[in-house]
Amino acid sequence: MKAVQVMGFGTADVLRVNDVERPAPGAGEVLVAVEASSVNGHDVIVRAGELKMVSGRRFPIGVGLDFAGTVAETGADVAGHRVGDRVWGMVHPRLRHTTAGAAEYVVVAADRIAPAPESLSPVEAASLVVAGSTALLALRDSVRLTGGERVLVRGAAGGVGTAAVQLAHAMGGHVTALARDRHAGLLTGIGADEVLDHRSTTSDRTGPFDVIVDTVGSELNCYRSRLDKGGRMVTVGLSASALAAIAASSVYGARRIRTFSANPDTALLRELAGHVTSGALRPVIDSVHPLADIAAAHEAFERGGAAGKHVVAVAE
């Protein structure tokens, strides 16, 4: 089978589409024939060598957190999944993989997949696995958004941002989206009550907000200061400076900056599918690349300014 692998840490040109042996599922595992995957920040920082403690320093390293496809084979002790089922899911982000979601086949624990929404194509489904799960966990668990609260979404036009705007709107929040002005039409169309151009809006000119969802990872303390009394903030844009700001914010108690690592299981993926089925969440896709062109997808992700997700179509 063909699989994308990192052959040495660096820029996108270290990615290779290699011919490797198709994996076989063990007990409690499922083999999925992948039709699409997407590019996520985790993929980029693994490729760049910023997560050596997780990925290790032995090559090759697999690429692609999420995937959508069909069940090709099941291992022993697997219940609830049959060959031919359309599924979506995610490999474990804290385990080392020699091949991952950006491959023709992926082996994954059975409790990390769920039926994909019937209304979505594989490309559309892949665009929502990590982005949608992250946004849902941020709003539901980290900041516990309630109806009527004022929400700021930073990096609102990206994959997690567009999902957060939609889910915050569905939860009854009054949503302010911070993004490039050219994305205003898209963002108001998916639920933003107002859109501010991030290039001309500074933190001291916004808010106050009950909830801030940050996907950028910079100026965190400045934006945290725009929380109202009882406000909560979460960031998923991790960097060394972001981690320092998160640690320092602990002195503010409930108004500290929160973070987490999205790691969806079957239950969460089923809940996410419910939001798709209800119409509360729909995919927003910036570009689709063939598997052979995954380096271009990574480069597009790193340039920023996207409207939604960069997706890799594995099955032509």
pLDDT tens-place string over residues 229-244:
999 999 998 776 787 8
Number of domains forming the structure of the chain: 2
Residue 224 pLDDT greater than 80, yes or no = yes
Q: Is residue 88 part of a domain?
A: yes
Q: Is residue 251 part of a domain?
A: yes
Same domain, 151 and 117: no
Residue that is written with structure tokens 């991030």 in the block = 198
Q: Is residue 30 part of a domain?
A: yes
Q: Is residue 263 part of a domain?
A: no
Distance CA 269, CA 287 (A): 23
Q: Is residue 273 part of a domain?
A: no
Residue 8 pLDDT greater than 80, yes or no = yes
Same domain, 116 and 195: no
pLDDT at 241 (0 to 100): 75
Averaged over 133-162, what is the pLDDT?
97
Which residues, other chains included, contact 96 with Cβ-Cβ below 8 Å and sequence gap of 6+? 54, 55, 56, 58, 61
Q: Is residue 81 part of a domain?
A: yes
- Indicate the pLDDT class of residue 205, thresholds 50, 70 and 90: low
* Rounded alpha-carbon distances, angstroms, from residue 34 to 22, 146, 269: 12, 37, 17
Which CATH number fits the domain that encloses residue 189? Answer: 3.40.50.720
Instruction: Give the tens place of pLDDT for each residue, 10-44.
Output: 999 999 999 999 999 999 999 999 999 999 999 99
> Residue 290 belongs to what H/E stretch?
strand 285-290
Closest CA to 37 of 301, 311, 315: 311
What's the full length of the chain, in residues?
316
Averaged over 102-111, what is the pLDDT?
98
Q: Is residue 269 part of a domain?
A: no
Averaged over 269-296, what is the pLDDT?
98
Averaged over 154-172, what is the pLDDT?
97
Q: Is residue 277 part of a domain?
A: no
Same domain, 97 and 140: no
CA angle at 114 for the pair 1 and 44, rounded to the nearest 5°: 55
Which structural domain range is residue 210 located in?
A: 129-258
Residue 57 pLDDT greater than 90, yes or no = no
Same domain, 38 and 9: yes
Which CATH number fits the domain that encloses residue 83? Answer: 3.90.180.10
